[in-house]
Structure 1
Amino acid sequence: MKKVAAEPYRDIDFSRAKRGAVVKPEPGKTKISIRLDNAVLDYFRSAVDEAGGGNYQTLINDALLAYIHQHSVLDALRQVVREELALPKSGRGPTRRSTGRRTSASPVN
């Protein structure tokens, strides 16, 4: 095993130093730790490389937001369809126009 030489002692003045992050986090974002499959990370990292740079974490965030928006639109559409199907039926039965077939009351040509 190779021995590493220690850095020589330096006298550093921390009297005006401030505690906290070097880069302020964006409002509305939270730093977390998450475990992802290597295939997921490889995909997003290669997508960033192909695009010529950027941040793979931002791409993952954008993909998750797109998933949420897609599902919220689908949920809204399903709710509209449910409400339309639940509307009370008029007193008439199916019409020739709605079924594409003649009803017993339709004249025969």
Structure 2
Amino acid sequence: MKKEVENEMEDELRPEYNFAQMKGGVRGKYVERYRLGTNLVLLDPDVAQVFPDDAAVNEALRLLIQVAQRQQSNTVVQQTE
């Protein structure tokens, strides 16, 4: 005799999550943004603790870009001397 295989997934949602009662949801709300592409990155937890939001990350990266550009400019000037 073969054992019965349970094919149905176990329902792990809590009873209070009744999606039928939720209003205002829009299907495909962000589909255009997705199609244009995203530039999301996942920060490691230790890095995320230092940067509270995307503005802080952008500010730090812009500063790093400036430092790298200055370093590159100084290297080019030193090589031509």
Name the structure where helix makes up a greater proportion of residues.
2
Larger Rg, first or second structure (1 or 2): 1
User: Whose RCO is larger (CA < 8 A, sep 6+)?
Assistant: 1
